[in-house]
Amino acid sequence: MLPLLRAAPVGAPALLLLPLLSSTPAAAYPFMIRHGYTGCGECHTDPSGGGTLTEYGRGQGVILLASRYGAHPEGWEPPDSKDFLFGALPLPEQLALQADLRALLIPKPGDMRVIAMQSDLEASVDAGPVRAEASAGWVSEGAERAWITSNTDPGGNLVSRVHWLGVQPTDDVLIRAGSMHLPFGIRSEQHILMARSATGTDTNDGQEYGLDVVAQAGKVRAEVMGIAGDFQVSPDDYRQRGYSALLGWGPESNLEVGLSSKLTHAALDEATRVPATRQAHELFGRWSPTRPLALLAEAGLTTLGSGGSTAVGSVGYLQADVEPVQGFHVQGTGEWCDDDLSDDAAPVGRGWLALQWFAVTHFDIRADAFYGTLYCTPGTDPSFMGLLQAHAYL
Amino acid sequence: MNLSAALLTLGLVLSSAPAAAAFQVTGKPKVTFYAEGSPGALDIEGKSGELSLSDDGTTVTAKVPLASVSTGIDLRDDHMKNKYMAIATFPDLTLRFARAELKLPTDAGQSTTGTLAATFNAHGVDQPVTVTYTVKKGKNAFEVDASFDYDISKHGVEIPSYLGITVDPAQNAKVRFEMLDQ
């Protein structure tokens, strides 16, 4: 069996792009549908969300995301401190730079750990028909599929999560190639959601290389990506190839429903180490019945076809995000996952309570408490878990 | 049937005598102005709960005070009202149409649908619009749903643009309310 190597020599497409550009696990906030944002392209260079903020996105970071301390004076506008390095380094309008820092504390008695999840420098270019985005950074552990170095000793690794180059033949269409987040489900920074891990579509290190087309037509957004494999993983047998696609419809300003579909095949599946074809097909929805409340849900089926047999599973969640005052969020989430509906192992579930406070522009903190299992591992006993996160972007 | 209901019913019955009748809003009207921003798919809804009708027997004028319209974001409201719509000079949005163009159902439970030619005034500028409407005769009042498209740039309003997001000047207004004709 071929050993799986992380951080293969970066593939040719990446070599071409990395010197030009340089991003992050997506800090995409799908609860923004409460403000009429059924899509993501207003605030992010990536039309499907996450990563580098546009000028408008940085403005909304002040106007809508961060806590307010008193009324704004007449004629108030978001200050220049919303910008890169608090406005100390003015940039041409075609260029956006951003630094994202995210640290995680796992307060486990006797085994307290601090993980540098993200310390990325991101850049994006939006110049006429050309749009591009790239990131480079360092993680102390985890995010293996995004490594561009291969250090297995303490000290962490350099990572590049996204690097893509695209053209926009029209304002509503973007065609791009490179390493990207996969178009699937509801994109958020909560990469440990089982709907992400069980479908291989998280934004921490679930990116793949490929060719992608994103289009917006009225209230419909669509994205299809042909997956060529993760060239930061080697040998080639471990690279999965296929497609991932998403179709979303926002009939109202406070509602989006959609479908996602993904199919990939690898000569050696990373988990099973045998040839396998994986599929995931799901429905998703976001709805804000009243401004303080945003509901997010995904539900779907997964399949793992290998050695002549196919295991069909299911995964999904319902999440309620409540924002009683601007900047302070209370999230409750219920998840389930079953990797094989036909076997005797009971599906796993997880209850999740989170408090998130966007205390000031550029900075948020978050506390999570779970009861359940970390991954989609039926048969595993549930347990309590706690996480503390701090995130800053410059 | 209590006295007020009886009087309302009588009012509806008497509405077949147009000479003395006049429309007036009752209940809680819902007025929404829809706009989209791009790039992306930003949906902007300006909502108001204030609508009044004046009716001289020939021409009906619906009026929404611009001050009552809210998009849900304070700064955006400020931009809309002060920077673009010049609320100090043009405080109201109005829609005028000939009363005779609005076809009302005669029996309770019945509905009429149709279109009528109207004049929409925003930013002090009149523009012709076509209103699509449905009127249902309820127990106590007419239930009205109406909408029309308009182009804000034709009203002399600068196309709003903010931090790279531009608002489509082609917009839509929807209104749902109950009215009496008495």
Å from B7 to nearest chain A CA?
A: 37
The answer to whether the CB of A314 falls within 8 A of the CB of A304 is no
Does residue A176 have a pLDDT over 90?
yes
Rg (CA), chain A: 20
Mean pLDDT across A8-21:
34
Quote the tokens at residue A194. Answer: 């089982």
Question: Residue A88 — pLDDT band, cuts 50, 70, 90?
Answer: very high
Handedness of CA A354, A357, A361, A363 (dihedral sign): negative
Closest alpha carbon to B43 in A287, A323, A219:
A219
Question: Residue A170 — pLDDT band, cuts 50, 70, 90?
Answer: very high
Does residue B17 have a pLDDT over 50?
no
- pLDDT tens digits, A114-135: 999 999 999 999 999 999 999 9
Residues of B in contact with A286 (CB under 8 A): none
Residue B7's pLDDT is 43
Higher pLDDT, A234 or A315: A315
Inter-chain contact B75–A38, Cβ cutoff 8 Å?
A: no
Residue A13's pLDDT is 35
Mean pLDDT across B120-134:
97
- The C-alpha atoms of residue B145 and residue A328 are separated, in whole angstroms, by 38
Mean pLDDT across B141-152:
96
Query: Which range among A18-27, A100-109, A144-153, B1-10 shows the weakest confidence by mean pLDDT?
Result: A18-27
Does residue A180 have a pLDDT over 70?
yes
Hey, of B33, B34, B43, which one would you mutate to test binding to chain A, going by the most A CBs within 10 A of its CB? B43
Mean pLDDT across B128-153:
96
Look at residue A237 and give its three-state secondary structure. helix
- Nearest neighbour of B163 by CB, restricted to A39, A56, A172: A56
The answer to whether the CB of A131 falls within 8 A of the CB of A176 is yes
Question: Residue A110 — pLDDT band, cuts 50, 70, 90?
Answer: confident
Q: Nearest residue of A to residue B39 by CA position?
A: A42
Mean pLDDT across B82-104:
95
Q: Nearest residue of B to residue A326 by CA position?
A: B73
Mean pLDDT across B27-43:
89
Question: Residue B47 — pLDDT band, cuts 50, 70, 90?
Answer: very high
The two beta strands, A233-234 and A220-229, are unpaired
| E-assigned strand segments in B39-169 | 42-48, 52-55, 59-65, 92-98, 111-122, 125-137, 142-151, 161-162, 165-167
Mean pLDDT across A242-267:
96
Question: Residue A270 — pLDDT band, cuts 50, 70, 90?
Answer: confident
Higher pLDDT, A143 or A22: A143
Question: Residue B20 — pLDDT band, cuts 50, 70, 90?
Answer: low
The answer to whether the CB of A258 falls within 8 A of the CB of A249 is yes
B88 touches chain A (CB under 8 A): no
Mean pLDDT across A243-265:
96
Instruction: Give Cα A391 distance to the centre of its chain.
Output: 15
Q: Residue A113 burial by CB count (10 A; 0-12/13-18/19+): exposed, middle or buried?
A: exposed
Does residue A155 have a pLDDT over 80?
yes
- The C-alpha atoms of residue A260 and residue A284 are separated, in whole angstroms, by 8
Residues of A in contact with B163 (CB under 8 A): 54-56, 58-59
B74 touches chain A (CB under 8 A): yes
Closest alpha carbon to A100 in A144, A133, A148, A76:
A133
B41 touches chain A (CB under 8 A): yes
Domains in chain B: ranges and CATH: 22-181 (2.40.128.110)
Residue A327's pLDDT is 97
Inter-chain contact B41–A39, Cβ cutoff 8 Å?
A: yes
Residue A159's pLDDT is 94
- My answer on whether omega of the bond before A13 falls inside 30° of 0, hence cis, is no
Residue A10's pLDDT is 39
Question: Within 10 A of B141 (CB to CB), how many other CB atoms are there?
Answer: 21
Going by the DSSP 8-state scheme, the letter that residue A145 receives in this structure is: G
Query: How many interchain CB pairs under 8 A, A with B?
Result: 63
Q: What is the mean pLDDT of chain A?
A: 90
Domain assignments of chain A as residue spans, ordered by start: 14-393
**Topology annotation, domain A14-393:** Porin (2.40.160)
The answer to whether the CB of A250 falls within 8 A of the CB of B36 is no
Question: Residue A72 — pLDDT band, cuts 50, 70, 90?
Answer: confident
Does residue A89 have a pLDDT over 80?
yes
Inter-chain contact B41–A219, Cβ cutoff 8 Å?
A: yes
Instruction: Give Cα A280 distance to the centre of its chain.
Output: 17
Does residue A105 have a pLDDT over 70?
yes
What angle is formed at CA A378 by the lines to CA A373 and CA A380, rounded to 5 degrees? 50
- The C-alpha atoms of residue A20 and residue B90 are separated, in whole angstroms, by 51
- pLDDT tens digits, A48-63: 988 899 999 999 999 9
Output the 3-class SS for A49-73: CCCCECHHHHHHHHHHHCCCCCCCC
What angle is formed at CA A24 by the lines to CA A23 and CA A28, rounded to 5 degrees? 115
Please tell me the total number of residues recorded for chain A in this structure: 394
The answer to whether the CB of B40 falls within 8 A of the CB of B165 is yes
Residues of B in contact with A64 (CB under 8 A): 73
Amino acid at A137: G
Residues of A in contact with B37 (CB under 8 A): 42
User: Token pair 């679930």 is at which residue?
Assistant: A206
Residues of A in contact with B40 (CB under 8 A): 37, 39-43, 47, 216
Q: Nearest residue of B to residue A60 by CA position?
A: B163
- pLDDT tens digits, A325-365: 999 999 999 999 999 999 988 899 999 999 999 999 999 99
Higher pLDDT, A10 or A72: A72
Look at residue B161 and give its three-state secondary structure. strand
User: How does B50-72 read in b/e, with b if 16+ C-beta sit within 10 Å?
Assistant: ebebebeeeebbbbbebeebbbb
The answer to whether the CB of A164 falls within 8 A of the CB of A134 is yes
Going by the DSSP 8-state scheme, the letter that residue B78 receives in this structure is: H
The answer to whether the CB of A373 falls within 8 A of the CB of A380 is yes
Question: Residue B41 — pLDDT band, cuts 50, 70, 90?
Answer: confident
Does residue B19 have a pLDDT over 70?
no
Query: Which range among A166-170, A278-282, B39-43, B46-50 shows the weakest confidence by mean pLDDT?
Result: B39-43
Does residue A248 have a pLDDT over 70?
yes
The answer to whether the CB of A99 falls within 8 A of the CB of A122 is yes
End-to-end CA distance of chain A: 44
Q: Nearest residue of B to residue A75 by CA position?
A: B78
The answer to whether the CB of A388 falls within 8 A of the CB of A107 is yes
Question: Residue A171 — pLDDT band, cuts 50, 70, 90?
Answer: confident
Å from A262 to nearest chain B CA?
A: 24
ipTM of the complex: 0.78
Residue A7's pLDDT is 53
Mean pLDDT across B85-102:
95
Residue B12's pLDDT is 43
Does residue B4 have a pLDDT over 70?
no
